Amino acid sequence: MKKILGYVLVLASLVAVPVAAQPSPPASPEPPALPQAPPPAPAQAPASEANTQRVSVALSEPSRPGTIEMDIVMGSIMVRGMNRRDIMIEARAGAGPGPRPPRRRAGDEPPPAGLRRLSQSGGFSVEEERNIVSIDVGPPRSIDFVIEVPVGTNLDLETVMGSIVVDGVEGELEIESVNGTVMLTNVGGSVVAHTVNGKLTATIARPAPQKAMAFTSMNGSVDVTLPAAVKANLKLRSDQGDVYTDFDLQLRRGSSNPNPNPDDVRRNGRARVIDVDNAIYGSVNGGGPDFEMRTFNGNVYVRKAK
């Protein structure tokens, strides 16, 4: 995650400050039923074929998994796993959640009479080397991407102002948005997904064995569906919300970290300070790799796939 921290500082004034949590009502005898999982996001066709640019990229070694690398400022990213051996990229000028770049026309120059402004598609470049496809966007225009990839593809996707949707892809997935939602449906492999200001929803169909995963948000709910037979150790935390699951979660002692790792132990002069967080620790189906689901402002849902 290279440039993302710098963009977070720039956008700090744009992100709404979370409202302080209200006191929780007294616990009811029966826990509330989990709300219905949100439906998958419908695929959206480009608004205008005239403003859509398409690029097909062949992989150096189609028999091996490829990797998509993207790090953009303004625009949304949608990636679909398909039965194909190349990469198809569609790009169109997007409305973008942020302000438009300033026009280059001088401030005292009136708009030309009788003329209309034509939309311009943003420029971008694509580079393929040893099965790694890098997509780079030029000047700060908002561009929305729809990308079709082979099912077995690794993804490293970042956007500052926009949402990310991934459907039917299996590989090593690193997904991050600063100001937008993240939705992963029917994905497999290992996942590290994060959004600062938005909801994160993920349905994991085929987790990679013995691979840790993390799903986190700063200001939004985290909703993750896992296979019923998954074996994992879970770390669940919401600072200003609740945690729900329909798994038979075997809680560890006190439901807080019973064995702080060396990173949790600090020295303060002669004293030894042990930081103990308020996360819920537990295992499902006997335990396995570590899965973390965490948010600061919102609820955490961990669902069992039906």
| Short-list 206, 231, 225, 239, CA closest to 282 | 231
Residues in contact with 108: Cβ distance below 8 Å, sequence separation at least 6, in sequence order:
none
Q: Which residues of the chain have pLDDT under 50?
A: 5, 8-21, 27-28, 43-47, 97-102, 105, 254
Q: How far is CA 89 from CA 47, 54, 70, 147, 163, in A?
A: 16, 6, 12, 5, 17
Q: What pLDDT shows up at residue 18? A: 47
Per the DSSP assignment, residues forming a β-bridge with 68 are: 133, 155
Q: What pLDDT shows up at residue 175? A: 98
pTM for the model stands at 0.75
Q: What pLDDT shows up at residue 15? A: 41
Q: How far is CA 112 from CA 100, 108, 119, 169, in A?
A: 20, 12, 16, 48
Q: What pLDDT shows up at residue 12? A: 46
Per the DSSP assignment, residues forming a β-bridge with 113 are: none
Separation between Cα atoms, residue 142 and residue 193, nearest integer Å: 22
Q: What pLDDT shows up at residue 21? A: 46
Q: What pLDDT shows up at residue 123? A: 79
| Short-list 230, 237, 246, 234, CA closest to 216 | 237
Q: What pLDDT shows up at residue 16? A: 43
Which tokens belong to 2? 């290279």
Q: What pLDDT shows up at residue 98? A: 46
Separation between Cα atoms, residue 56 and residue 147, nearest integer Å: 10
Residues in contact with 176: Cβ distance below 8 Å, sequence separation at least 6, in sequence order:
1, 4, 157, 158, 159, 164, 182, 193, 194, 195
The pLDDT tens digits of the residues spanning 238-292 come to 999 999 999 999 997 645 555 555 555 555 556 666 656 689 999 999 999 999 9
Give residue 246's region: left, alpha or beta (phi > 0; psi -120 to 50).
alpha
Residues in contact with 107: Cβ distance below 8 Å, sequence separation at least 6, in sequence order:
none
Q: What pLDDT shows up at residue 93? A: 80
Which tokens belong to 97? 């959640």
